Chains A and B, each alone.
Chain A
Amino acid sequence: MAALMEAQLPLRAVNNKIRVDGVSRHFPSGHGGQLAALENINLEVLPGEFLCIVGPSGCGKSTLLHLIAGLDRPSTGEIWIDGRKVLEPGPDRILLFQELGLFPWLTARENVEFGLRQKGVNTKERREQAGYYLDLVHLSQFEEHHPHQLSGGMKQRVALARALAMQPDVLLMDEPFAALDAQTRDLLHDELERVWRETGQTIIFVTHNVREAVRLGDRVLVLSYRPGRIKTKFSISLARPRHIEDPEVASMSKKVLGHLREEIDKSVRAEFHHEQFA
């Protein structure tokens, strides 16, 4: 087995953490047709890179993260992580879902402990780690609350704690801060950046907020709308720590936004059309 794997390795030079290779994902659409959510995506992510993805809603951002997480299979193409093909979910890459997916029957703490328990971490250690990560997202007071007792922003923070507690090599984040007020979001940007530096995690961060993408990312990708393709890749070489209000962040965001705007227009028109004639 090991010999077989090694035989494959030299073919794929493993200097990137994630390699998305000609990936398309088509969904069956209404009238027997096919919807190309993603079309021929090629992407390499370096170990420890913080990659942000922006794009209009419906362009396939969530689909891409699901594919990398191994929760869905590409229609064509392959995804490789550490030189191994992604066939199923794994504890080395954790997705923070756009819909969060917190379990309503568990408390905030139990939600954070869930994945640790699956890993076989013992009760005491689980409790400690859950406490640590809930503290990190400033929710210590709410450990024993159930999700329905928390605000939207608090739920997002529980989901963040749950993902971070798994200490994955690869952290996939799908619009994780969309429901937060600006102040809390700034705070969590700092915390996330700190955790990222300390752990050396590779992060793919999806957002519709260009400023946020430029604030956080080493690179920012703009996806196009239908079919979802990579339209532009920006390298963000601004020095860290950055702040979302920095003038450099603002001017870079303007550049990115220029490329994004066209796609947003496309998506808005498509949705308008859809509403009119559906």
Chain B
Amino acid sequence: MNNLRKIARQVGFYAFVLALWQSLVLLKLWPPYVFPTPASVFEALRIGFSDHTFWIGIGVSLKRMLVGYALSVILGGALGLLLAHSDFLEETLGRLVVSVQSMPSICWLPLAILWFGLSEKAILFVVVMGSLLSISINVEAGLRNVPRIYAMAGRNLGASGARLFLYVLLPASLPHLVSGLKQGWAFAWRSLLAGEMIFVSLGLGQLLMMGRDLNDISQVVAVMVVIILIGFAVDGLVFRVVERNLRRKWGLSSAA
């Protein structure tokens, strides 16, 4: 019941956005090559999907995402562990990590191109550098903020070393870890698209730039819609579900 109402609300909202868009078009404030109509964008979407260019773009971009993100999770997780484990590393490397993380990830691109050329590796490098540090920062924070009582209770009940980590510290920091993974995904996605826009490479970023080169605003907007939909799907189907389960189990929930 409640779910139905939520869905109805969402549908209503997007119908309203479309109607607003269409009425702006009808006011003829701007020429169509500056402000596309909903119909032309739908047409661009239809063409893009039926001639497979969008599918290929999505496929290429998502594959890069999965590889890059997986690397980030593994490397960032490991780095986070190290930083959580050692005060010395935290005070030295940890500070550096935070400063480097504040740099927009696209700044890695020139370096990537010098190292790897205009290759798949260069773009993966940008994706990984864009998300790895945010993941490691969150992993570290998650582990360091585990209330002392949990570690004590775990030790008291006979867990130590790897088992203490696996059965107590890791689950205790899970809420933090999940938000870190979510943030890492967002950073990786942004880095990927920025990278793809700058150098020729198939992928959604390139489709965007192609639309610009063809002066085809409908394609530009259509690709943007695809990008937004992917973000929506990943958030809604993966992270939201995980977070909701977590909150329910832990009783962190306010309204979920």
Q: Which of A94, A102, A148 has the most CB of B within 10 A?
A: A148
- A95 interface hit (Cβ, 8 Å): yes
CB distance from A172 to the nearest CB of B (A): 9
- Contact assessment for A115 and B157 in the assembled complex, using a CB-CB cutoff below 8 Å: yes
Given contacts A115-B157, A162-B157, contact A105 B149 (CB under 8 A): no
- Contact assessment for B158 and A103 in the assembled complex, using a CB-CB cutoff below 8 Å: no
Chain A residues 72-120 with CB under 8 Å of chain B are 88-89, 91, 94-95, 97, 99, 101-105, 114-115, 117-119
Contacts of A71 in B (CB 8 A): 152, 155-156
- A127 interface hit (Cβ, 8 Å): no
Q: Kindly identify which residue among A89, A101, A146, A162 contacts B149, using a CB–CB cutoff of 8 Å.
A: A101
Contacts of B168 in A (CB 8 A): 103
- The answer for the CA separation of A114 and B150 in the assembled complex, in Å, is 12
- B250 interface hit (Cβ, 8 Å): yes
- A149 interface hit (Cβ, 8 Å): yes
Q: Please tell me the number of chain B residues within 8 Å of chain A, measured between CB atoms.
A: 20
- The answer for the CA separation of A88 and B155 in the assembled complex, in Å, is 9
Contacts of B149 in A (CB 8 A): 97, 99, 101
Q: Which of A91, A101, A117 has the most CB of B within 10 A?
A: A101
- The answer for the CA separation of A91 and B157 in the assembled complex, in Å, is 7
- A38 interface hit (Cβ, 8 Å): no
Mask of B151-176 contacts with A, CB within 8 angstroms, 1/0: 01111111110010001100110100
CB distance from B148 to the nearest CB of A (A): 9
- Contact assessment for B159 and A103 in the assembled complex, using a CB-CB cutoff below 8 Å: no
In this complex, the interface size class of chain A, counting residues with CB under 8 Å from chain B, is 20 to 34
Query: By DSSP majority rule, is chain B's interface helix, strand, loop, or mixed?
Result: helix
CB distance from A183 to the nearest CB of B (A): 27
- The answer for the CA separation of A194 and B133 in the assembled complex, in Å, is 56
- A147 interface hit (Cβ, 8 Å): yes
Q: Kindly identify which residue among A94, A119, A147, A148 contacts B156, using a CB–CB cutoff of 8 Å.
A: A94
Q: Kindly identify which residue among A103, A118, A147, A149 contacts B171, using a CB–CB cutoff of 8 Å.
A: A103
- B6 interface hit (Cβ, 8 Å): no
Contacts of A95 in B (CB 8 A): 156
Given contacts A105-B250, A146-B251, A148-B251, contact A115 B171 (CB under 8 A): no
- Contact assessment for B171 and A105 in the assembled complex, using a CB-CB cutoff below 8 Å: yes
A115's closest neighbor in chain B, by CB?
A: B157
Given contacts A114-B167, A146-B249, A149-B251, contact A103 B153 (CB under 8 A): yes
- Contact assessment for B250 and A118 in the assembled complex, using a CB-CB cutoff below 8 Å: no
Given contacts A104-B250, A118-B163, contact A89 B155 (CB under 8 A): yes
- The answer for the CA separation of A71 and B172 in the assembled complex, in Å, is 19
Contacts of B159 in A (CB 8 A): 114, 118
Chain A residues 153-178 with CB under 8 Å of chain B are 162, 166
Given contacts A99-B149, A103-B172, contact A146 B250 (CB under 8 A): yes
Q: Which of A104, A105, A148 has the most CB of B within 10 A?
A: A105
CB distance from B155 to the nearest CB of A (A): 5
Chain B residues 14-28 with CB under 8 Å of chain A are none
- Contact assessment for A97 and B167 in the assembled complex, using a CB-CB cutoff below 8 Å: no
- Contact assessment for A105 and B172 in the assembled complex, using a CB-CB cutoff below 8 Å: yes
Contacts of B251 in A (CB 8 A): 104, 146-149
- Contact assessment for B157 and A114 in the assembled complex, using a CB-CB cutoff below 8 Å: yes
- Contact assessment for A105 and B174 in the assembled complex, using a CB-CB cutoff below 8 Å: yes
CB distance from A231 to the nearest CB of B (A): 28
- Contact assessment for A103 and B156 in the assembled complex, using a CB-CB cutoff below 8 Å: no
